[in-house]
């Protein structure tokens, strides 16, 4: 195990515990304000926990109780940080920026220079070695910043939304680059992009309101989301409820038939059902239609209509339905009107709600 | 350059602005008009004038150095740390700005003078401060220090701590962070502060007179010489005044040239460096 952390910071409502294996890349997902950046700062030594303990490759980063105890300063932690902005030192060339880490830890000028060259080449930024940060584009600067973070030879690489400030065109390049350099490296990457989690991470942690609420391999977490945020990342509708007569009944009174409800419900108190918005059709109430056993009819009030790619997303009762623009035009539904959602039950996955980990 | 406003200013504001500018410029023009140009060179190169000018430049340079040595740590502590009573400390640091310099000089006398707080200790060490060139330097440093601290603290706040945080996570110890990141980032601010302090030192009069006296070649700086010559030889006083005006204009010009450098530290926060180095 490379990293083991348990930390509590009541001021910011953060209370987390997780581990990162040797060479494992873990993605930390969560809505804005969930405390993801605070976790990064706790690890980097830029913010101090109130209570908790963290250990990285056998070195204790902090061991605190009521704000007192041991806490290594940032420069002795071996946790390089790459943030949203490159933050290259503006008075140094790209190469000097990358050499900064090695120079700071006592490497000779010559060896630091060689290391800088090597890491710049590794991040496809060798061409910018002699440039000043002001002469670089956002994507180029971020590649140099990545080289700089790697050149410090961190035990744990911290990436705090490293692609959030980049142009849309440069993101795929950066993602490929990260995929390459993160292979076999212990790293924590904060992101709000589900694609980052899928392509870069061996495991994802989902954080909400200062706590880690889900954890597991990306495919598993996205296939069986446990909370609305993860479901929205996975692009799924999620409903939660109890089981009654082989049907899932939510607190709002919504009910649907779910496959294998009995077995799932025995595992835990609550049952979750997930289904994609494309499995939901929409019609006006009372419209003629055949009674189809494979379809559930849910009466909803339309709360929102928005374009979603080449479909129109209709929202109601906390659920989303994607219909074609032609169908939307035919229905000419407005916000606040009544509608019926027709759910194709063969597209529903149901599973037990797990106890919140950690 | 800020964009000119699309909403025109009321006319009386422009009239006030013209009056204000004239009020500042007219006296300078008046002094310049009084200069006896035929005698100008002999007047400013007399023994007394040269002694005063040389003393002024040497003491102002030494005081500026002292301001940097004392002011940089002070600005760093004010900008980068939190401690109880910090607002009070900042107010006290700025006190010499609003204090009449004569009062500063008297306060220094009661600190470093023979009868002063530290006078006895200094006497034992064989050091006599009052009425020496050292006293001139102390008086100038006392009045000029706030300029450096204010300017540098502002520059430090503008630069922010994000670069320092990155440097620390890369393994840089506090001293390395200060030397290789913090100071280079605020160098334009430090330069402006030093230039302003130098200018304030050069113009220092009241505190110097009260604490150091007026001894030719030892404590009689240019402003003191001008004040003395004012009655004895008005032409000399006017000529020397012009010298100080020229020096002041040069100093203001210098600090204006480094002004874009100050905004560069704001821009660099967005990941861009300062082309101001070339422009300024």
pLDDT, tens digit, for every residue of A288-297? 666 666 788 8
pLDDT, tens digit, for every residue of B109-129? 999 988 888 888 888 888 888
Q: For residue A223, is pLDDT > 70?
A: yes
> Which pLDDT does position B273 carry in this prediction?
35
Contact A150, B280 (CB under 8 A): no
Confidence of residue A261 (pLDDT cuts 50, 70, 90): low
Instruction: Name the minimum distance, in Å, from the CA of B271 to any CA of chain A.
Output: 6
Question: Whose CA is closest to A46, among A131, A132, A160, A165?
Answer: A160
- pLDDT-above-90 percentage for chain A: 55
CB contact under 8 A, A73 and B168: yes
* Nearest residue on chain B to A139, alpha-carbon basis: B271
Query: Is residue B22 in a domain?
Result: no
Query: Is residue B5 in a domain?
Result: no
Question: What is the DSSP code (8-state) at residue B9?
Answer: P
Instruction: Name the minimum distance, in Å, from the CA of A176 to any CA of chain B.
Output: 23
The residue with tokens 């002795």 is A76
Note the ipTM here.
0.83
Contact A128/B at CB under 8 A: no
> Which pLDDT does position A266 carry in this prediction?
61
CB contact under 8 A, A44 and B169: yes
Q: Tell me how far apart the alpha carbons of residues A102 and A131 are, in angstroms, rounded to a whole number.
A: 19
Q: For residue B265, is pLDDT > 50?
A: no
Number of domains in chain B: 1
Cβ-Cβ contacts under 8 Å, A149 against chain B: 170
Full residue range of the structural domain in which residue B91 is found? 37-277
Cβ-Cβ contacts under 8 Å, B279 against chain A: none
* Nearest residue on chain A to B177, alpha-carbon basis: A104
Cβ-Cβ contacts under 8 Å, B166 against chain A: 81, 83, 87
* Nearest residue on chain B to A132, alpha-carbon basis: B273
> CA-based angle A140:A144:A145, to the nearest 5?
115
Pick from A80, A134, A152: CB nearest B272 = A134
**Least confident residue range of A187-191, A247-251, B64-68:** A247-251
Query: Is residue B270 in a domain?
Result: yes
pLDDT, tens digit, for every residue of B89-101? 999 998 999 999 9
Query: Is residue B24 in a domain?
Result: no
Query: Is residue B16 in a domain?
Result: no
Confidence of residue B130 (pLDDT cuts 50, 70, 90): confident
Query: Is residue B7 in a domain?
Result: no
pLDDT, tens digit, for every residue of A136-162? 999 999 999 999 999 999 999 999 999
CB contact under 8 A, B169 and A138: no
**Which run of H or of E encompasses A240?**
strand A237-244
B117: domain CATH number is: 1.10.3720.10
CB contact under 8 A, A90 and B272: yes
> Which pLDDT does position A268 carry in this prediction?
56
Maximum average pLDDT range among B16-20, B33-37, B40-44: B16-20
**Which run of H or of E encompasses A275?**
strand A271-275
Question: Whose CA is closest to A147, among A82, A77, A76, A196?
Answer: A82
One-character DSSP codes across A46-107: SS--SEEEEEETTEEEEEEETTEEEE--GGGS-EEEE-SS----TTS-HHHHHHHHHHHTT-
Contact A183, A150 (CB under 8 A): no
- What number of C-beta contacts closer than 8 Å exist between A and B? 90
CB contact under 8 A, B173 and A89: no
Q: For residue A89, is pLDDT > 90?
A: yes
Cβ-Cβ contacts under 8 Å, A81 against chain B: 165-166, 169
pLDDT, tens digit, for every residue of B180-225? 999 999 999 999 999 999 999 999 999 999 999 998 889 999 999 9
């Amino acid at each position: 195990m490379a990293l083991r952390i348990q930390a509590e910071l009541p001021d910011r409502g953060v209370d987390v515990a997780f581990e990162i294996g040797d060479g494992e890349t873990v993605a930390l997902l969560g809505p804005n304000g969930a405390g993801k950046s605070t976790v990064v700062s706790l690890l980097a030594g830029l913010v101090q926990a109130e209570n908790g303990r963290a250990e990285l490759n056998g070195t204790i980063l902090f061991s605190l109780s009521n704000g007192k105890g041991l806490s290594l300063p940032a420069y002795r932690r071996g946790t390089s940080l790459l943030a949203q902005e490159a933050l290259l030192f503006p008075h140094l060339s790209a190469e000097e920026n990358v050499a900064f880490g090695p120079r700071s830890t006592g490497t000779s000028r010559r060896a630091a220079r060689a290391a800088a060259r090597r890491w710049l080449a590794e991040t496809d930024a060798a061409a910018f070695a002699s440039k000043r940060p002001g002469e670089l584009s956002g994507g180029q600067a971020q590649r140099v910043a990545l080289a700089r973070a790697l050149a410090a030879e961190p035990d744990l690489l911290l990436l705090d939304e490293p692609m959030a400030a980049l142009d849309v065109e440069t993101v795929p390049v950066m993602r490929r680059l990260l995929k390459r350099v993160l292979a076999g490296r212990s790293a924590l990457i904060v992101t709000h992009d589900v694609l980052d989690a899928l392509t870069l991470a061996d495991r994802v942690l989902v954080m909400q309101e200062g706590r880690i609420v889900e954890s597991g391999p990306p495919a598993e977490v996205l296939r069986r989301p446990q909370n609305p945020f993860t479901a929205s990342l996975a692009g799924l509708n999620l409903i939660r409820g109890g089981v009654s007569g082989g049907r899932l009944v939510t607190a709002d009174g919504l009910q649907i038939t779910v496959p294998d409800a009995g077995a799932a419900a025995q595992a835990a108190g609550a049952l979750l059902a997930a289904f994609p918005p494309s499995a939901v059709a929409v019609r006006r109430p009372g419209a003629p239609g055949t009674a189809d056993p494979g379809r559930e009819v849910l009466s909803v009030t339309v709360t929102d209509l928005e374009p979603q790619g080449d479909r129109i997303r209709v929202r109601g009762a906390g659920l989303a339905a994607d219909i074609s623009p032609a169908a939307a035009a035919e229905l000419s539904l407005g916000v606040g009107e009544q509608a019926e959602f027709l759910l194709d039950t063969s597209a529903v996955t149901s599973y037990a709600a797990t106890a919140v980990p950690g | 350059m800020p964009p000119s406003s699309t909403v025109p200013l009321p006319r009386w504001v422009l009239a006030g602005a013209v009056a204000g500018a004239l009020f500042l410029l007219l006296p300078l023009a008046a002094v310049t008009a009084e200069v006896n140009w035929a005698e100008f060179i002999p007047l400013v190169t007399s023994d007394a004038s040269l002694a005063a000018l040389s003393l002024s430049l040497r003491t102002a340079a030494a005081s500026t150095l002292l301001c940097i040595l004392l002011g940089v740590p002070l600005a760093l502590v004010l900008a980068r740390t939190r401690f109880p009573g910090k607002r009070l400390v900042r107010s006290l640091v700025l006190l010499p700005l609003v204090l009449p310099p004569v009062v500063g000089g008297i306060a220094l006398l009661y600190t470093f003078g023979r009868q002063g707080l530290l006078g006895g200790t200094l006497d034992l060490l064989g050091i006599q401060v009052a009425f020496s060139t050292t006293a001139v330097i102390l008086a100038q440093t006392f009045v000029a220090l706030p300029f450096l601290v204010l300017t540098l603290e502002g520059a430090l706040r503008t630069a922010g701590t994000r670069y320092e945080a990155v440097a620390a996570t890369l393994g840089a110890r506090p001293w390395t962070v200060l030397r290789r990141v913090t100071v280079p980032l605020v160098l334009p601010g430090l330069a402006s502060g030093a230039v302003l302090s130098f200018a304030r030192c050069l113009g220092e009069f009241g505190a110097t007179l009260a604490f150091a006296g007026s001894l030719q070649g030892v404590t009689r700086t240019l402003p003191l010489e001008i004040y003395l010559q004012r009655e004895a030889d008005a032409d000399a006083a006017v000529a020397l005044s012009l010298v100080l005006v020229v020096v002041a204009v040069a100093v203001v010009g210098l600090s204006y040239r480094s002004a874009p450098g100050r905004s560069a530290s704001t821009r660099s926060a967005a990941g861009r460096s300062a082309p101001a180095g070339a422009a300024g």
